[in-house]
């Protein structure tokens, strides 16, 4: 049956899922732009959560969240996660209950409606080809953040093509050190089976989100930053071998 399911699913994907995703992205994106213009960026978070849950529901993707005791939804964090699929975005934003601001590559800002809506949400756009420009963008974002906001970094910088957790970049950890916010490590499992990278081979299935205990990066620990980065990477990668 598992071998037959992808073939049965194809008409549903093309006739229902993809048109539905385009429509809700346009509608909720435009509402997000209006809300972000006249109210606060935090006010747009409910729309992003709604979009995320609708996206997971239509596929369908069943999200299992473990580790709720390791964080408080009213607190702010620098969320650090592995990245295997575009499904990671709605799965995390829709179900962990934080006011997330995403760190996104600059090119996504050019997508009509979507890019402007992400700006209204308070997402941070960085130019990955120019390190100084990327650092400047993150510093500017730090000044605009509210006390409710958490910033999410996919610390590998891009999706893993082979499912293995790639080396982490320093941006999230430097940001945590400068803001005083704790790192919240998150492991995302099985999303690659739902939607492999560089593919439209979408298949319904489960995604598990494991929230680990927060890690603090203190200014005095600057010389040990590399050790902290590797320790967090090991924590995130651990459950993927189960």
**pLDDT (0 to 100) of residue 193:** 94
The parts of the chain modelled with pLDDT lower than 70 are 1-4, 128-144, 221
Across all residues in the chain, what is the average pLDDT? 90
Residue 136 confidence (pLDDT): 67
The CATH-assigned architecture of domain 5-241 is 3-Layer(aba) Sandwich (3.40)
Residue 222's alpha-carbon distances to 9, 183, 219, 228, in angstroms, are 50, 15, 6, 10
- Whether the CA torsion 186, 191, 193, 198 is positive or negative: it is negative
In whole angstroms, give the CA distance from residue 152 to residue 172: 8
Dist CA 216 CA 157 (whole Å): 21
Answer whether 104's CB lies under 8 Å from 118's CB.
Answer: yes
pLDDT in tens, 105-139: 888 888 888 999 998 888 888 876 666 666 666 66
Closest Cα to residue 156, out of 103, 201, 99, 199? 103
- The predicted pLDDT at position 94 comes to 97
Distance between CA 163 and CA 165 in Å, rounded?
7
Q: Domain residues of the chain, as ranges?
A: 5-241
């Amino acid at each position: 049956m598992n071998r037959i399911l992808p073939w049965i699913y194809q008409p549903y994907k093309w006739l229902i899922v993809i048109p539905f995703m385009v429509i809700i992205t346009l509608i909720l994106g435009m509402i997000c732009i209006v809300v972000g213009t006249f109210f606060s960026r935090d006010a747009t978070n409910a729309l992003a959560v709604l979009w995320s849950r609708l996206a997971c529901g239509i596929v369908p993707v069943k999200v299992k969240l473990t580790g709720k005791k390791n964080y408080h939804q009213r607190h702010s964090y620098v969320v650090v996660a592995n990245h295997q699929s575009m499904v990671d975005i709605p799965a995390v934003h829709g179900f962990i209950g934080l006011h997330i601001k995403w760190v996104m590559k600059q090119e996504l800002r050019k997508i009509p409606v979507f890019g402007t809506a992400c700006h209204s949400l308070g997402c941070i756009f960085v130019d990955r080809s120019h390190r100084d420009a990327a650092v400047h963008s993150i510093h500017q974002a730090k000044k605009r953040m509210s006390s409710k906001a958490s910033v999410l970094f996919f610390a590998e910088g891009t999706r893993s093509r082979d499912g293995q957790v790639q080396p982490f970049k320093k941006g999230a950890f430097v940001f945590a050190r400068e803001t005083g916010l704790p790192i919240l490590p998150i492991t995302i499992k099985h999303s690659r089976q739902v939607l492999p990278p560089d593919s439209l081979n979408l298949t319904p299935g489960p995604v598990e989100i494991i929230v680990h205990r927060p890690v603090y990066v203190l200014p005095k620990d600057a010389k040990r930053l590399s050790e902290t980065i590797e320790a967090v990477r090991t924590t995130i990668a651990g459950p993927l071998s189960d």
